[in-house]
Structure 1
């Protein structure tokens, strides 16, 4: 009996193959924005293909948990039983079928070709069958079916594409406003640029000036196309990040030597400076007042990123970069007029820019981070001279990483500390009720969900 010849495969589309390779890196622990940026730089695609790859990667990462539930229903098996490489192929296919304007036959066919080339011919049939079942319903119909039996929070988490524990925290913080806030995490922001004070002018950035920060502009496209960015005289920084740095620089300190205006007065400190965005803005603001910034970072590779971000500064007030542990610092206590403590956190406030983080993070991560956050804030207070000001900052709105950390540390501190309301321009609805602390939100302010507590050390 003659053997039936296998149909000749055309091979995967190069753009989809590139997106798949990036997604595999992300699944193995890489950051999506960094892996995607490097892949696009190496591939040198035209603008149309680069945009297609970007949407494939970012969109698939953003809705990965939702697609896993769809794929489990379509395949009749727990996705944990699928080969990780095949699961990434199926996620890419699901995104094209449910969230992009790709014809079903093209998405299914491309998924089969990709699976055969990257995973093996033996999974081509399974890929075809699963993706065809996914294509049988639009996303809204899948969400309605999967929501059956869910309570209100579970249904909210599913339709906004977040894990339940994150949706619960948003409801706790925002009540009926939670759905709008969660939905805002699914909208990719326009890149925001920032000038280094004294090194570049806002007009060099192009784009639209930011609403509250006088140093920023929103500009679509590749930031590296801007001369000032390539030269280190400007950078990429969310407006919320700019605002918390500006608030520290313009905070009202005391009248002691730490707050004197004369050159040579107490320097400023960025306690956890990596990767260097806030340090680069603070360095210019400090130099404007005759101060010098000390930027400290515990991880060597991140300290190198800080040095790269600060490379354009020179002269008497050029910043210094240290590789040091902020919880066991090498500097003397009460040495700095301003201290930025932008502590490690879950990053739940930057989910629109880090789409994979919502599925990678777990509630236990908060438990692990809170002790470090408290230790770093206590160290920051110790580093501030009398009259100096500390900014406690997180890119997370989670109450355990924000107000609870500040409250616990102030209660345990042996120093007299006064919480301050920011003096710099901020959105009028950014102040938390019952206190001077600041919470920014993407859906309200088009910034990351940055938290800020300004604390003046009185003695």
Structure 2
């Protein structure tokens, strides 16, 4: 393993100190499941509660953390500390567990899960943050004492003192498998990914024309803190508004993107629903679905077949509203947003609240739409449920929650949704098949299987469509050529494009 690896791991942020004192009550996210107050500062208390919720309830950190921060009234540096602790411990779990196991006389599977979550927080502070070692150890020991008692706190103290005896590179050289004998195992521990994901991402790189030597850089990109990006909804906001003052700068690839420097709620357009937090990769998928050329006039009958939670639906609806205002589509133009889960359909409804065009949010199974409304729509976006391997930096717990069996269990649903989308689009209309995963089993293999034996569908030049949208924008250090995929589909990469690793295949029914 090259010693260049540390450059790709999470950088050490400036030292951040949370407010001292005990967290106040359970409404502030300051008590463990047993109800006793946590004897640590509120930022560490919130981070610990996030880890416990992920471990005990399979919660999603990005969904529960904002509410916990609000209840604990954490803002600014304290909110940043809680976020870095929680996300850093979740991302680094694979590495930290190997190091913790080496620092004790038992495998991590035999450690009380409540204590293990605290040890992961302590290891992250010791190995990847500029927290003084004595503070990292003492606060974690206090945390363990408050949730598991004095015996467990003595155990935690001994383990963390051993962890603090070496830096992260020395530990990884000690605990990671030999790179020659077990290269996948070495990368898995070094970059904190399950081995099956390491193998799948190597296959994905090769399948899209990228060298397998980029794998360490890709894995490292999943452990970097992502920027917060917003989409200015066309006709309601623009990038100039989002980037006024010191709060943001224009995005790199998407023409409607702004990279935020402060909290999203500091920007009026986001508070008012005229702009939304959304990764540039997701923006490009929606923009590509709207820009792909149809045969025959586009009447403005658009369908988002898997619309929850509504980010792409909002961008599509805003684009459709602009076209209606310009007279490019008729008064019957409408975005239909389909979502099978009622609570997610509610999120879609909220995301569309500021949009001026007609829209209809429906709770139903997307697999039935093609049969119920054959050939009705001009454009269909089908962003299928997937493993989410393209968004591991934003959903750090996903890498530990997913299993290889998910690839096969999701496959029938993905194929059925694409078939429904192709049935719902009119001849000459466009279907955009998208996933937030680069794994071949969820991307090109799905498209290949559905199109096999069909002569009524053609693959469009998806990279060409996106290049027209991106225009003269270029990534630093990538020269004039912007690699978007080897073939007719687009594969974005976190380490190349700074986006989630989105896949997009634009298909057109033959007229």
Give the match for residue 292 of structure 1.
Answer: 334
**What is the alpha-carbon distance in structure 2 between the residues aligned to residue 65 and residue 394 of structure 1?**
25
Contact 1:200 1:233 in 2 (8 A): yes
The counterpart of 2:249, out of the listed 194, 208, 216, is 208
Are 1:360 and 2:401 an aligned pair? yes
Give the match for residue 370 of structure 1.
Answer: 411
Are 1:308 and 2:360 an aligned pair? no
SS at match of 1:339: strand
Contact 2:127 2:164 in 1 (8 A): yes
**What is the alpha-carbon distance in structure 2 between the residues aligned to residue 25 and residue 190 of structure 1?**
24
**What is the alpha-carbon distance in structure 2 between the residues aligned to residue 448 and residue 41 of structure 1?**
27
The counterpart of 2:97, out of the listed 60, 64, 68, is 68
Deviations for 1:290-314, whole angstroms, at most 9, x for unmatched residues? Answer: 3321111000000000000001123
**Could you tell me the TM-score, scaled by structure 2's length?**
0.83
The counterpart of 1:78, out of the listed 83, 90, 107, is 107
Alpha-carbon distance, 1:412 to partner: 5.0
Are 1:128 and 2:157 an aligned pair? yes
Are 1:268 and 2:302 an aligned pair? yes
Alpha-carbon distance, 1:18 to partner: 1.9
Give the match for residue 225 of structure 2.
Answer: 188
The counterpart of 2:261, out of the listed 202, 217, 220, is 220
Contact 1:266 1:335 in 2 (8 A): no
Alpha-carbon distance, 1:22 to partner: 1.6
The count of aligned residue pairs is: 440
The counterpart of 1:324, out of the listed 333, 354, 364, is 364
Give the match for residue 432 of structure 1.
Answer: 485
Structure 1 residues not aligned, in runs of 5+: 1-8
Deviations for 1:115-170, whole angstroms, at most 9, x for unmatched residues? Answer: 01122223111111111111111111111111244512221222222111111122
**Could you tell me the TM-score, scaled by structure 1's length?**
0.92
Give the match for residue 94 of structure 1.
Answer: 123
* Cα-Cα RMSD: 1.7
Structure 2 residues not aligned, in runs of 5+: 1-36, 325-332, 475-480
Give the match for residue 5 of structure 1.
Answer: none
Contact 1:147 1:158 in 2 (8 A): yes
SS at match of 2:127: helix
Alpha-carbon distance, 1:441 to partner: 0.8
Give the match for residue 26 of structure 1.
Answer: 54
The counterpart of 2:193, out of the listed 162, 172, 181, is 162
Give the match for residue 133 of structure 2.
Answer: 104
